[in-house]
Amino acid sequence: MSLAELQALERDHVLPTYARFPVEFVRGEGAWLYDDEGHPYLDFLSGISVTSVGHCHPHVVRAVTQQAARLTHTTNMFYTEPAMRLAQRLSQGSLGGKVFFTNSGAEANEAAIKLARRARRGGEIVVVEGAFHGRTYGALSATPQESKQAPFAPLVPGFVVVPKDPDALRAAVSERTAAVFLEPVQGETGVWPLPEELLRAAREACDAAGAALIYDEIQCGVGRTGTLWAYQASGVVPDALTSAKALGGGFPIGALITGPRLADVLQPGDHGSTFAGGPVVAAAAGAALDVIDDPALLRRVRELGERLAAGVAQLPGVREVRARGLMVGADLDGAPELARRALLDQRLVVNATGPDTLRLLPPLIVGEAEVDEALVRLRAALSA
Ligand SMILES: *Cc1c(COP(=O)(O)O)cnc(C)c1O
């Protein structure tokens, strides 16, 4: 089907919630996407930090096809090996508590919000300015952005917003607080690593008040910043974290992972999901972790991230670069127009998180030559 035919179908039959670019992708391999005419595009967005193992990684494809041919779904009333093995791996490789599987990032945060309120009845949830936690009602209520929230009022009550300031955070946390939610690196609002001082203040305030510190690692986890989990780069350990995006190697799975203290708060009947943790997506996640949970790959993420950030900083018009591993944001005027030109003229897939920030999220298996090629294409898009 031609692009024009797809656009006609969208116009007539699809709710107009997405501003799509006029490009149809039909195939992907590694860091490359191919359109309907066979043109290759260098993918430095990875489906928003989802295809971190690259497109159609053979190890993930094998795990998924083998599992799909054996058993696809049973509901969570029964046991399947991929889910139990994945839970063990996620728990042992991070906070050491227990795991609840979901189908998406927003759902992982919903589970975390329910868990926090179950631990402290009626408690407030403290979030910081610039946060993005998802689009469902609980997650949206934790996302203090006027344009996203206002049309959908009334929201879920009991959310408190504070500036990214240690003193303001400390002042907002009390015996009334159920949890503080933080993204160690804020993604959707322009790649903002939160200062270590703020993370430390959150940890201390939560300890003093008996509240839970919950990290949203949906975008910055699973190797993106050069450690398997973003919290592992700092001295601050949360009580629970949420994951999704890259967790499934391109397949939809999310998880709430707790530490020991919160492992037994949710009880039978408290929460559930029909699809979540199904054998196919759990097998995909296991295979994706085989690829990413590798010290050599994570060291490459840190090295190539530095190379990419240094290259981006030299581009004309770039005022500031913020980077953690292969999560890179560059401030410059006209970022959305630059992203559009990079895509349509240079066949480089990148995006803008707002009017002033270009965001680069290449797959973690990217090579040095591809990093350099992306910089060449960005420079060309900038000088067009
Ligand atoms: C993408 C994202 C979400 C929402 O995940 P969905 O799978 O789109 O529901 C939540 N938090 C952060 C930090 C994200 O980047």
Confirm whether 349 is domain-assigned.
Answer: no
Distant-in-sequence, close-in-space partners of 56: CB < 8 Å, separation ≥ 6:
28, 29, 250
Q: Which of 132, 159, 181, 251 is catalytic?
A: 132
Confirm whether 335 is domain-assigned.
Answer: no
Confirm whether 109 is domain-assigned.
Answer: yes
Confirm whether 333 is domain-assigned.
Answer: no
Tokens of 30: 């590694």
Active site (annotated) includes residue 216:
yes
Residue 134, number of CB atoms within 10 A of its CB = 25
- Nearest partner of 127 among 146, 141, 108, judged by Cα: 141
Report the distance separating Cα 372 and Cα 379, nearest Å. 11
Instruction: Please tell me the total count of domains within the chain.
Output: 1
Tell which atom from ligand 1 comes closest to the C-alpha of 254.
7
Q: Are 72 and 83 in contact (CB under 8 A)?
A: no
Beta strands 320-324 and 254-258 are unpaired
* Confidence at residue 384, expressed as pLDDT on a 0 to 100 scale: 83
Domain residues for 208? 66-292
Pocket test for ligand 1, best of 18, 128, 132, 148 (most atoms within 8 A of CB): 132
* Confidence at residue 165, expressed as pLDDT on a 0 to 100 scale: 98
* Confidence at residue 377, expressed as pLDDT on a 0 to 100 scale: 98
141 by Cβ neighbours in 10 Å (0-12 / 13-18 / 19+) ranks as: buried
Distance from the alpha carbon of residue 383 to the mean position of ligand 1, in angstroms: 33
Q: Which residues line ligand 1 (CB under 6 A)?
A: 104-106, 109, 132-134, 183, 187-188, 216, 218-219, 244-245
Residue 365, number of CB atoms within 10 A of its CB = 20
Tell which atom from ligand 1 comes closest to the C-alpha of 131.
13
Q: What's the Cα-to-Cα distance from 243 to each of 222, 278, 279, 331, rounded to whole Å? A: 8, 16, 18, 27
Residue 352, φ and ψ in degrees, nearest 5: -110, 135
| pTM recorded for the entire structure | 0.98
Distance from the alpha carbon of residue 1 to the mean position of ligand 1, in angstroms: 31
Query: Phi-psi region for residue 23, left (φ > 0), alpha (ψ -120 to 50) or beta?
Result: beta
Report the distance separating Cα 256 and Cα 269, nearest Å. 17
Confirm whether 112 is domain-assigned.
Answer: yes
* Confidence at residue 260, expressed as pLDDT on a 0 to 100 scale: 98
Active site (annotated) includes residue 333:
no
Q: Are 248 and 101 in contact (CB under 8 A)?
A: no
Confirm whether 1 is domain-assigned.
Answer: no
Distance from the alpha carbon of residue 135 to the mean position of ligand 1, in angstroms: 8
Confirm whether 207 is domain-assigned.
Answer: yes
* Confidence at residue 352, expressed as pLDDT on a 0 to 100 scale: 98
Active site (annotated) includes residue 132:
yes
Residue 16, number of CB atoms within 10 A of its CB = 8
* Confidence at residue 248, expressed as pLDDT on a 0 to 100 scale: 98
* Confidence at residue 280, expressed as pLDDT on a 0 to 100 scale: 98
Q: Which residue has the tokens 């009947």?
A: 269
Query: Which CATH number does the domain housing residue 217 bear?
Result: 3.40.640.10
Distant-in-sequence, close-in-space partners of 177: CB < 8 Å, separation ≥ 6:
120, 123, 124, 125, 126, 160, 206, 209, 211
Per-residue pLDDT of the chain (384 residues; tens, 9 = 90+): 899 999 999 999 999 999 999 999 999 999 999 999 999 999 999 999 999 999 999 999 999 999 999 999 999 999 999 999 999 999 999 999 999 999 999 999 999 999 999 999 999 999 999 999 999 999 999 999 999 999 999 999 999 999 999 999 999 999 999 999 999 999 999 999 999 999 999 999 999 999 999 999 999 999 999 999 999 999 899 999 999 999 999 999 999 999 999 999 999 999 999 999 999 999 999 999 999 999 999 999 999 999 999 999 999 999 999 999 999 999 999 999 999 999 999 999 999 999 999 999 999 999 999 999 999 999 999 998
Distance from the alpha carbon of residue 106 to the mean position of ligand 1, in angstroms: 6
Confirm whether 384 is domain-assigned.
Answer: no
Distance from the alpha carbon of residue 218 to the mean position of ligand 1, in angstroms: 6
Distant-in-sequence, close-in-space partners of 104: CB < 8 Å, separation ≥ 6:
134, 244, 252, 254
* Confidence at residue 229, expressed as pLDDT on a 0 to 100 scale: 98
Tell which atom from ligand 1 comes closest to the C-alpha of 139.
10
